[in-house]
Amino acid sequence: MNQWIDIHCHILPAVDNGSVNMKQTKNMLKIAHEEGIHSIIATPHYGVGCRNPDQEELKRKLELVREEAKQIDESFCIELGNELYFSDDIIEHLRKKKALTLAGTRYILVEFASDEAYNTIKTGLHRLLIYGYLPVLAHVENYECLYQNYEGIYDMIRLGVYMQMNISSITGGYANRRAGHCRKLIEYELVHILGTDAHSDYVRAPRIMEGIEVIRKKYGADLIQKLLTENTNKLLQNQYI
Ligand SMILES: [Fe+2]
């Protein structure tokens, strides 16, 4: 039995553009469990100036999802966080505890617009570090300014930023530009954590086995263990990766 931990998943029902209802959430839980995922951090979107779900509602729904998860497996663990859309005000929202860190740790999952300028991303993440947070850049493969910009990514890692890649992005085959980019990111050791970024039980389902096979064949099982269990477990324990 594999023990993968998914730190990026839109599994709470009807709170963002992820799961639309509890039925879909249940299906997502079943799929995730079949794929060997035993812990999930639910990460609904949060953006300053956006209509964010009420935190009490998130906690209430978290408990419902936890109950469903227990029906599948007694030890199935569901935690809560946010996927934060970066803006200068996000720090204030974090400090006032309106926006959530990942599972109550110092780690935060942060995203930017895919066409955001490199300096905006780097400076923004640096500011979060200065305030004592440990930022994980969501789906590092998605940003135009980071395409083939390995030095740019490395510079952010040197500052203390962690990189999360969506595991499905590597499954496109050799002709696929994004999959090729993902292989390079893995090869150059620029990824700390793999996640599903699942949004539903069909198009963007919490499936990881196909991606795992691609990485295992090319880079070995140890790397999978590191990116889906060891590092994610350190994150959950609030330890440095
Ligand atoms: Fe996401």
Distance 12 CA to ligand 1 centre (A): 12
* 3-state SS class at 52: coil
Does position 1 have pLDDT exceeding 90, yes or no?
no
For the chain, the first-to-last Cα distance in angstroms comes to: 24
Distance 1 CA to ligand 1 centre (A): 26
Distance 138 CA to ligand 1 centre (A): 7
Q: Average pLDDT, whole number, for the chain?
A: 95
Q: CA angle at residue 137 from 204 to 206, to 5 degrees?
A: 20
Question: Two tokens at 81?
Answer: 């966080």
Residue 79: predicted pLDDT: 98
Residue 51: predicted pLDDT: 82
Distance 170 CA to ligand 1 centre (A): 16
What is the rounded CA–CA span in Å between residue 69 and residue 209?
20
pLDDT band of residue 175 (cuts 50, 70, 90) is confident
Does position 212 have pLDDT exceeding 80, yes or no?
yes
Residue 221: predicted pLDDT: 93
Mean pLDDT of the 14-18 span: 94
Closest CA to 163 of 180, 179, 185: 185
Does position 166 have pLDDT exceeding 90, yes or no?
yes
Share of the chain above pLDDT 90, in %: 93
Q: At what angle do helices 177-187 and 209-219 cross, to 10 degrees?
A: 50
Residue 129: predicted pLDDT: 98
pLDDT band of residue 176 (cuts 50, 70, 90) is confident
Distance 9 CA to ligand 1 centre (A): 6
Decide: 121 and 81 in contact? Cβ < 8 Å.
no
Distance 163 CA to ligand 1 centre (A): 14
Name the least confident of 11-20, 47-56, 222-231. 47-56
Does position 173 have pLDDT exceeding 80, yes or no?
no
Distance 19 CA to ligand 1 centre (A): 12
Distance 109 CA to ligand 1 centre (A): 9
Other beta carbons within 10 angstroms of residue 223's beta carbon come to: 16
Place of tokens 């500052």: 159
Residues whose Cβ atom is located within 5 A of ion ligand 1: 83, 197
Mean pLDDT of the 107-119 span: 98
Does position 17 have pLDDT exceeding 80, yes or no?
yes
Mean pLDDT of the 44-64 span: 92
Does position 160 have pLDDT exceeding 90, yes or no?
yes
Mean pLDDT of the 191-219 span: 95
Distance 196 CA to ligand 1 centre (A): 8
What is the rounded CA–CA span in Å between residue 147 and residue 190?
12
User: Which neighbouring-strand residues pair with 40?
Assistant: 6, 78
Q: Is 103 left (phi over 0), alpha (psi -120 to 50) or beta?
A: left
Distance 105 CA to ligand 1 centre (A): 18
Distance 22 CA to ligand 1 centre (A): 19
Distance 44 CA to ligand 1 centre (A): 7
Mean pLDDT of the 150-155 span: 98
Reported pTM: 0.96
Mean pLDDT of the 63-71 span: 98
**Please, what sign has the CA dihedral across residues 229, 231, 232, 236?**
positive
Residue 172: predicted pLDDT: 80
pLDDT band of residue 2 (cuts 50, 70, 90) is low
Distance 201 CA to ligand 1 centre (A): 15
What is the rounded CA–CA span in Å between residue 173 and residue 152?
25
